[in-house]
Amino acid sequence: MDKDKYIGRLLDNRYEILEVLGTGGMAVVYKARCHRLNRLVAIKILKDDFSQDEEFRRRFHDESRAVAMLSHANIVSVYDVSTSDDADYIVMELIDGITLKQYMEKKGVLNWKETLHFAMQIAKALDHAHSRGIVHRDIKPHNVMVLKNGAVKVTDFGIARVMSKSNTLTKEALGSVHYISPEQAKGGRVDSRSDIYSLGIVMYEMMTGRPPYDGESPVAVAIQHINGKPQMPSTLNPNIPGGMEQIIVKAISQEPAKRYSTAKQMLQDMDEFRKDPAILFDYNNASTSLEDAAAIASQVKPAEPAAQPQRNIAERVANNKGAAAPVKRPAPSQSKPAKKPARRREIIIEEEERGNKAATIAVVICSIVAIVAIGIFLYAAFGDSGKNPDTNLVVVPNLVNKDFNEAAMSEDYVLEIESKVYSDKFEKDRIIEQKIRPNTKVEKGKTVQVVVSAGPEPKVKVMEDLINLDEEQALKFLTNTQGISGDRILIRRESNATIEAGKIIRTEPSEGVTLTEDQTIYLTVSTGPEVDSAMMPSVVGQNVEMAKKLLNASGFMNIEVEEVESTNPQGQVLYQSVTKGSTIATSTKIVLRIPKWIEVTVPTQPSETERPSDYLPKVVRIALPDDMTEDYIITVYNGTTVVEERMIPAGTLYTEVELYGKGKIDFTVMVNNGLSWTETVDFDEKTEANDDN
Three-class SS string for 375-387? Answer: HHHHHHHHCCCCC
What gap in Å lies between CA 73 and CA 121, rounded to an integer?
Answer: 9
Strand (E) or helix (H) holding 125? helix 112-131
Q: Which CATH superfamily is domain 10-93 in?
A: Phosphorylase Kinase; domain 1 (3.30.200.20)
Q: How confident is the model at residue 22 (pLDDT cuts 50, 70, 90)?
A: confident
pLDDT at 201 over 50: yes
Q: Which residue has the higher pLDDT, 342 or 231?
A: 231
Contact 128, 72 (CB under 8 A): yes
Assigned CATH class of 392-457: alpha beta
Question: What Cα–Cα distance (Å) separates residue 578 from each residue in 537, 551, 568, 593, 594?
Answer: 9, 11, 21, 12, 15
Q: Which residue has the higher pLDDT, 154 or 685?
A: 154
What is the pLDDT at residue 122? 95
Q: Is 138 a catalytic residue?
A: yes
- The CATH number assigned to the domain with range 533-595 reads 3.30.10.20
Q: Over 551-596, what HEC string results?
A: HHHCCCCCEEEEEECCCCCCCECCEECCCCCCEEECCCCEEEEEEC
**For residue range 368-382, what is the model confidence (pLDDT) as tens digits?**
655 655 555 545 444
Q: Which residue has the higher pLDDT, 432 or 564?
A: 432
What gap in Å lies between CA 248 and CA 250, rounded to an integer?
Answer: 6
What is the pLDDT at residue 408? 83
For 143-177, give the DSSP string. Answer: GEEEETTS-EEE---TT-EE--TT-B--S---S-T
Longest alpha-carbon distance in the chain: 108
What is the pLDDT at residue 120? 94
What is the pLDDT at residue 326? 33
CA 182, 187, 193, 196 dihedral sign is positive
pLDDT at 673 over 70: no
What is the pLDDT at residue 112? 92
SS3 620: strand
CA 498, 504, 509, 510 dihedral sign is negative
SS3 121: helix
Contact 64, 81 (CB under 8 A): yes
Mean pLDDT of 389-400: 81
- The CATH number assigned to the domain with range 616-692 reads 2.60.40
Rg of the chain over CA atoms, in angstroms?
Answer: 31
Q: Which residue has the higher pLDDT, 464 or 363?
A: 464
Which phi and psi (to 5°) does residue 244 adopt?
Answer: -65, -40
Same CATH topology for 392-457 and 533-595: the answer is yes
**To 10 degrees, the CA torsion angle through 340, 341, 347, 350?**
-10
Which among 80, 88, 138, 195 is annotated as catalytic? 138
What gap in Å lies between CA 523 and CA 521, rounded to an integer?
Answer: 7
What gap in Å lies between CA 45 and CA 60, rounded to an integer?
Answer: 9
Domain boundaries, the chain: 10-93, 97-300, 392-457, 533-595, 616-692
Entry pTM: 0.44
Q: How confident is the model at residue 21 (pLDDT cuts 50, 70, 90)?
A: confident
Pick the closest to residue 212 from 197, 194, 190 (CA basis).
197
Question: What are the CB-based long-range contacts (under 8 Å, 24+) for 76-80?
Answer: 76/145, 76/153, 76/154, 76/155, 77/649, 78/649, 78/652, 79/34, 79/41, 79/649, 79/651, 79/652, 80/652, 80/653, 80/654
pLDDT at 491 over 80: yes
What gap in Å lies between CA 631 and CA 77, rounded to an integer?
Answer: 10
**For residue range 306-349, what is the model confidence (pLDDT) as tens digits?**
333 333 323 333 333 333 333 333 433 333 333 333 333 343 33
What gap in Å lies between CA 38 and CA 187, rounded to an integer?
Answer: 45
Mean pLDDT of 228-237: 89
CB neighbours of residue 583 within 10 Å: 8
Q: Which residue has the higher pLDDT, 309 or 112?
A: 112
Q: Which residue has the higher pLDDT, 340 or 670?
A: 670
pLDDT at 15 over 50: yes
Assigned CATH class of 97-300: mainly alpha
Question: What Cα–Cα distance (Å) separates residue 62 from each residue in 211, 303, 358, 472, 475?
Answer: 30, 53, 69, 53, 53
State the chain's mean pLDDT as an integer: 76
Range among 46-55, 172-181, 296-305, 485-494 with highest mean pLDDT value: 485-494
Query: Considering the chain, what percentage of its residues have pLDDT values greater than 70?
Result: 74
**For residue range 587-626, what is the model confidence (pLDDT) as tens digits?**
888 999 888 754 444 445 566 566 777 888 888 899 988 8
Contact 518, 489 (CB under 8 A): no
